[in-house]
Amino acid sequence: MKFIFRLFRALPYHILVCFFSIISILLYFILTSRRKIGLKNIELALGVDRAKAKNILFKTYLYFAKMVAINIKYLGNKKFIEKHFKIEGLENFEEALAHNRGVIFTTAHFGNFEMLVCGFAVLKQSINVMVRPLDNMALDRLVLNLRQSCGNNIVSSRLSTFEFLNMLKKNQILGILADQYGGSKGLEVDFFGKKAKSSEGIAILSYKNKTPILPAYLKEEGKTYKIVIKKPIYPKDEPFRQAVYTIMCSIYAEFEDWIKKEPTKYLWMHNRWKT
């Protein structure tokens, strides 16, 4: 696995883009079940016809091919990041950190979410990135080493709430992808006007420790990559269940706004509105 990765990384970036674009086009046509899920999700969320949905989904596959290529070539490359990356909204991070309650960064499967946390770690500060361990152990070790090469600390999503709260009480930073399906018992929140089951763990941590949440994404502008940090979401002084729901609605409203502006950068192939 390491040999294959090193071989890919040695290739020129444009060759990687071509290779993974071909792979993504093949996957688009071969994986019919994923294509159907993607088209259904786009039609459901954006209210477009089938022809428009196909156009968006095809461009989404090509976008993620390019994302894989750039991550293989440059993820963890500090010189590349220092040259091409900048931060917008750094004052929002500083405001949130000043409360001494830790900070929770959150993002969706939108844009280059891997390079987002890598870039922030290189330019400013490392993050405790919550991830689910991969089933393939060899691949999990490779991905783990690659993610840690940026300076971040990778923590398993299987840790207890107590352990995550301990990190926040030490004023550490926690990064969480918050747009996954939350299971049949997940909290229902509005997402593009439809009910979506969501994991509420991020909101519970925020509420219990009074920790601000910072939505963030990576914006690509030619050869420049801008880490965009939005205004903090603070837990409100409400009863627990209502406060958790309010936080999750605020997070999903941010995600929806980003996706509407650039729909080809969202992972539509995930069965997000599963019941």
Is the confidence at residue 275, as pLDDT, over 70?
Answer: no
Residue with the bigger pLDDT between 185 and 208: it is: 208
- The residue type found at 189 is V
According to DSSP, residue 78 is labeled H
What is the Cα–Cα distance from 213 to 175, expressed in whole angstroms?
A: 10
End-to-end CA distance of the chain: 36
Q: How far is CA 21 from CA 44, 64, 139, 156, in A?
A: 26, 9, 21, 31
- DSSP H stretches of helix in 85-235: 90-97, 113-123, 137-148, 161-169, 201-209
What number is the average pLDDT over the span 5-23?
Answer: 95
Question: In the chain, at which residue ranges do the beta strands (DSSP E only) sit?
Answer: 85-88, 103-107, 128-131, 153-156, 173-177, 187-191, 194-198, 213-221, 224-229
User: What gap in Å lies between CA 46 and CA 159, rounded to an integer?
Assistant: 36
Angle between helices 32-46 and 13-30 (to 10 degrees): 90
pLDDT confidence tier of residue 5, bands split at 50, 70 and 90: confident
Look at the alpha carbons of 242, 247, 250, 256 in this order and tell me if their dihedral is positive or negative. Answer: negative
Residue 101: CB atoms within 10 A of its CB come to: 18
- Pull the structure tokens for residue 72: 């293989």
| pTM for this entry | 0.93
Residue 152 near residue 75 (C-beta atoms within 8 A): no
What pLDDT, in 10s, does the model give residues 64-120? 999 999 999 999 999 999 999 999 999 999 999 999 999 999 999 999 999 999 999
